[in-house]
Amino acid sequence: MAGVVALPVAALGLLYWAYEADRNPADDSGRPGAWMSATAEQVSDLAHVPVPASAVDVRWGHQNGFQYDLGVIAFRLPGEQTSTFRDGLAVTQWRAAAPGDADAADGLLHIGAPDPRAESATTCGSFESRPSGHVTTTLVCLAPRSDGTSQVWVSAVRTP
């Protein structure tokens, strides 16, 4: 009788393992949801947002998707350079807002960036670009820091 019970339990364990492996694919596996090796420049190109040379604490990541790819970048800028950085982007309208995309926020946390949802004085703007048959929607959010720097979060979703 014990062997009869052990078989379904083992089958359930195998199904759980397969489900978890599917939900959390290994890095660089190329499977949907996998975080892929990419350079900061590659993610910057995907997002169409340059990372200034004066940026510090630069973090980035690229997640392979089934229907879309996600690129995230976070860094801090000297406060006096924030306006120049903002003016160089294709954003047409900035507004006081919190980033609302849970996937992007989770991606930013995955790369070790501060949680943009925890900020109270965040300004965000977005833009679209259409290079080589894709549509990329980029969201850029900024928040002042008490040390005089500005925290910048960038998330870009590229769809076919």
Instruction: Confirm if 126 and 91 have CB atoms less than 8 A apart.
Output: yes
The pLDDT of residue 97: 81
pLDDT of residue 55 exceeding 90, the answer is: yes
Distance, CA of 68 to CA of 88 (rounded, Å): 26
State the fold for domain 32-159: Jelly Rolls (2.60.120)
Instruction: Confirm if 159 and 132 have CB atoms less than 8 A apart.
Output: no
**Predicted TM-score (pTM) of this structure:** 0.80
Instruction: Confirm if 151 and 142 have CB atoms less than 8 A apart.
Output: yes
Most confident of 7-21, 77-91, 96-110: 77-91
Read off the pLDDT band of 21 (50, 70, 90). Answer: very low
DSSP string, 30-62: -STT-EE---HHHHHHHHT----TT-EEEEEEE
The pLDDT of residue 18: 45
Distances, alpha carbon 56 to alpha carbons 38, 53, 76, in Å:
18, 8, 5
Distance, CA of 74 to CA of 55 (rounded, Å): 9
pLDDT of residue 47 exceeding 60, the answer is: yes
Per-residue pLDDT tens for 66-79? Answer: 788 899 999 999 99
- Which residue's entry shows tokens 């900035």? 94
Q: Check the CA dihedral 7-11-12-13 and report its sign.
A: positive
Task: Give the number of residues written for the chain.
Answer: 160
Most confident of 56-70, 81-95, 96-110: 81-95
